[in-house]
Amino acid sequence: MAQTEDSTRLALRGHVIQFSGNPFCEKPESAITDWSDGLVVIENGVITQVGNAQDLLPTLPEGTQVDHHKDRFILPGFVDCHVHYPQIEVIASYGTQLLEWLNKYTFPAESKFFDEDYARRAAQIYFKENLKNGITSASVYCTIHPESVNALFETAETYNARMVAGKVMMDRHAPDTLLDTAQTGYDQSKALIEKWHGKGRAVYSITPRFAPTSTPAQLEAAGALWKEHPTVRLQTHTSENKKELLWVKELFPEHPDYVGVYEHYGLLGKGAVLGHGIYMNEREVATIHETGTAIAHCPTSNTFVGSGLFNVKASQFGTKPFTVGLATDTGGGSTFSMLQTMRCAYEVAHLQGIVLHPAQAYYMATVGSAQSLCLEDKIGNIKPGMEADITVIDPVSTPLIANRMSYATELTEALFIQMILGDDRAIAATYIGGKQVYNKDEA
C-alpha cells in the first residue's frame, strides 16, 4: 500500500534488519540485529523507532498507516557509490576493455547529453531502474554538459532522492564534443555547486573523469574547487586497467604512481571516492588508508570489461584497511541489481581465497557505500534519526528461490540465497524519505 501524499507518519512491518556493528571488524553474524516481526516507525521522512512490532504498535498514534510486509525482509535502501547514468544505452556492449570501451561506446553515447530533453529521458529511465532494484541513493557521473547534471538532479528531486552527482571534467584525450577546459570545467562546476549542493537532498561531487583525460591545470583547478567548497564530494577513477596504468605513468612521470597524481593535486581525503582501485601498490594503499579516501568496488564492471579482480584482502583485512563501498558502475557494469552485484563481489573474493560473508556483502552495499560518501549519518542503515530510505525484499520471488529458501535454517543463509539467486524480481517495494516509490505488485 503506497503512502498518501499528505501522510507524515508511517510504519513498516516485516522482518527488519539493522546493522549494529561492522561485520569486517567483528564476527559477521553479531553485526546484524534483526526483528522477525519488526516495525520501523517513520515520521516526516525520518525513522523514529525500530523494534518489535508487538512492543511498538500500541504506542502508535491513532490513524498511523501501517504497511504490512509479512515474511519479507525490510533492509536499508541500497547505495550505489559509483555509476554513469549516461551509459545506460551502452550497457551490454561487446568485446572491448577499458580504453577501447571509452572510445567505441562511452564517448559517442555521452556526446548526446548536451540536449537536456535527451538527458532528462535517460535520467528517468535510470531512476526507474534504480527503484525497481532497491537503490535509493547513488554517486553519479554525468557528462561534461551542465544539462546532464540539471536533468539528473531535477529527476532526483521528483522522488526526493538523496543523490550525489557531478559534471565530468575532461579537457584532453576525448572527442571535441566532450572537452571542456580547465577554466570552463571549474566555472561550470562552481555554478552547479551553487545551484544544487544542499538543495533538498542533493549533494554535489567534483568529477574529473580520470587523470589521463585532465591536464595538470584541470586537476589543479579541481583541487582548488574542493578547497573552496569543502562540503561537496569528489569522485574519479584509479587503477582500473593495466594499459591505463602505463598511460598514467607516461603522462605523469613526475609522480610516484596513479594515486600519487591525485595526492599531488589535493584530490584525496574523506568525501573522495575513487572507482575500482584494482592495481594499487603498497604505497597507494597506505595513502588511501591515511587520507580516509574511499574506493568503490565495481565487481560486475571489472569482470565484464576484463579489468581484473579487486583485492578484497588488502582492503578489509590488511594492515592498512580502507573504506569500501559497492557499486554497479553501469554501463561498464552489467546490471542495476545490487543483489547480482553482491553475488559478483562474492565470486571475485572467492577467486582470491576470501569467503565473503553475506553480512559483509550487504554491509558494503549499504553502510559501506554511505560511509564512502560521508553520508552514514543519514542513509545506509535502519536506525532512529536516519532518513527513511528502505528496500523490501521478497524472499521467495521465484520458484527456484522459494524452493531453496524452504531449506534455509538461519537469517544469514536466507540473505545469502537472495544475493546469489535474486535480481530485480526480489525487490518487493522501495521507499524514499518514507514514501513508497516502487511496488512490485503495482509496477
pLDDT per residue as tens digits for the range 24-37: 999 999 999 999 99
Q: State the span(s) of the chain assigned CATH 3.20.20.140.
A: 78-372
C-alpha–C-alpha distance, residues 230 and 144, integer Å: 22
Distance of CA 262 to the CA centre of its chain: 21
CATH topology of domain 9-77+381-439: Urease, subunit C; domain 1 (2.30.40)
Per-residue confidence (pLDDT) for residue 1, from 0 to 100 = 37
C-alpha–C-alpha distance, residues 369 and 50, integer Å: 22
Per-residue confidence (pLDDT) for residue 3, from 0 to 100 = 39
Which residues of the chain have a pLDDT value below 70?
Answer: 1-7
Per-residue confidence (pLDDT) for residue 2, from 0 to 100 = 39
Specify the 3-state DSSP secondary structure of 55: helix
Per-residue confidence (pLDDT) for residue 8, from 0 to 100 = 81
Per-residue confidence (pLDDT) for residue 4, from 0 to 100 = 38
The domain 78-372 is classified under which CATH number: 3.90.600.10, 3.20.20.140, 3.30.460.10, 2.60.40.1180?
3.20.20.140
Judge whether 99 and 93 are in contact, CB under 8 Å. no
Query: What percent of the chain lies above the pLDDT cut of 70?
Result: 98
Q: State the span(s) of the chain assigned CATH 2.30.40.10.
A: 9-77+381-439
Per-residue confidence (pLDDT) for residue 358, from 0 to 100 = 98
